[in-house]
Amino acid sequence: MNEEKIEFTIKWKGKSFPISFLSTSTVEELKEYLYIATKINPKHQKLLGLKSNKNKKITNNLALKDLKIPKSKKVMLMGTPEKIIQKVQEIPVDLPLIIDDLDFEYDNEEYKNIRTTELEKKLDSFVENLEINIINKPRAGKKLVVFDIDKTVFDMKGIGSSSLELTRPGLHPMLERIYPHYDIIFWSQTKWNWIEAKLFEMGVLSNPKFGVNFVLDITSMLKITSNYYKKRISKSMTKEEKEKLEKRKHWIKPLEIIWRRYPDFYNEKNTIHIDDLGRNFVLNPKNGLLIKQFIKKAGISQDKELFYLTEYLLYIADHYDDVRVLDHKHWKKEWTRINQSRFKN
């Protein structure tokens, strides 16, 4: 007796894979076949357009006959081959000791006298009302790194690729290596559920070699008004027009809400905040480390920022009690200088 067959085509990166499986075969078997064909680990395979007949979740032991195959008989596969994932997370052997410093300046005048009584009050109420969901308890004697997410360790806009490909190269090895010295917090200007989804997709919450202490979202950020106007003032403007001009407003990440919440663990001496936006550091400029934006282009990224950053953070952990000794705004210059004096003789 001939058993019924299920036939459709899987499309991946312009290639077609005709599928002809017994209807009793499982999703797991399909994924294993796709692993052989594409080298994408079954865990990282995403099949777009496949649904279950009975509104059930698609699990590995579901039979193919219980799937609703699209009318077009075409199913898109998303995912990154194992080798490429390993490649982008591999530690490069040839990190140069001198790095080009392309960081930009931001203007301190714009934020002169920014600490108004109103701002102080806002901070007080933040510290009081802030809800923090601890994932891993703060550890005594550790320094703290606060990481931004978007464009610092992740680029969400690279549509069509898997999340692992959108993760900045070196993120996992960095977190694994700094974890013995630093507690780890992520702080992003989005809502909590987005942050959680991104961290989960990057595998950051499931790596057993380090732990994230907690996560802060946009509700922990403060909006400030700077001393600069949104638009340039032109000479031809009338007095009335000038009075109507709006000053630049933006969000910032005030580290002191963390320090005041956990004074036994974190303070201005032991915290480094890594972000691609300098304006987030306004209240704590000496703790801010400006990192080059991570923008994922097609193909394997050559971005090495996190590999340099790992060495820099490990050096600080080894040499300084007070992290403010170094100028993190120009951290690449600092790292070059340190290396030059270390290897002089």
In the complex, the residues that contact Mg ion under the rule CB under 5 A are 148, 150-152, 276
The residue (of 22 and 218) whose beta carbon lies closer to Mg ion is 218
The residue (of 48 and 295) whose beta carbon lies closer to Mg ion is 295
How far apart are alpha carbons 335 and 308 in whole angstroms?
Answer: 9
- Nearest approach in angstroms of CB 332 to Mg ion is 18
Distance of CA 190 to the CA centre of its chain: 12
And the tokens for 138?
A: 């703060």
How far apart are alpha carbons 162 and 45 in whole angstroms?
Answer: 9
- Nearest approach in angstroms of CB 287 to Mg ion is 16
Please name every residue paired with 6 in a beta bridge, in sequence order, or none if there are none.
Answer: 21
- Nearest approach in angstroms of CB 251 to Mg ion is 11
The residue (of 10 and 221) whose beta carbon lies closer to Mg ion is 221
- Nearest approach in angstroms of CB 273 to Mg ion is 12
Long-range contacts of 122-127 (CB under 8 A, 24+ apart): 122/222, 123/222, 123/254, 123/256, 123/257, 126/220, 126/222, 126/254, 126/257, 127/256, 127/257, 127/260, 127/261
Q: Which residue has the tokens 């009318």?
A: 71
Beta carbons of 326 and 290 less than 8 angstroms apart: no
The residue (of 150 and 165) whose beta carbon lies closer to Mg ion is 150
- Nearest approach in angstroms of CB 293 to Mg ion is 8
The residue (of 142 and 253) whose beta carbon lies closer to Mg ion is 253
- Nearest approach in angstroms of CB 171 to Mg ion is 14
The residue (of 152 and 270) whose beta carbon lies closer to Mg ion is 152
Distance of CA 82 to the CA centre of its chain: 21
Residue 12, helix vs strand vs coil:
strand
Over the range 180-219, which residues count as b (16 or more CB within 10 Å of their CB) and which as e?
Answer: eebbbbbbbbeebebbeebbebbbbeeeeebbbbbbbbee
- Nearest approach in angstroms of CB 149 to Mg ion is 7
- Nearest approach in angstroms of CB 253 to Mg ion is 10
Beta carbons of 332 and 306 less than 8 angstroms apart: no
The residue (of 148 and 165) whose beta carbon lies closer to Mg ion is 148
Residue 343, helix vs strand vs coil:
coil
- Nearest approach in angstroms of CB 86 to Mg ion is 26
The residue (of 276 and 334) whose beta carbon lies closer to Mg ion is 276
How far apart are alpha carbons 41 and 35 in whole angstroms?
Answer: 6
Over the range 82-114, which residues count as b (16 or more CB within 10 Å of their CB) and which as e?
Answer: eebbeebbeeeeeeeeebeeebeebeeeebeee
The residue (of 139 and 250) whose beta carbon lies closer to Mg ion is 250
Q: What is the DSSP letter of 154?
A: B
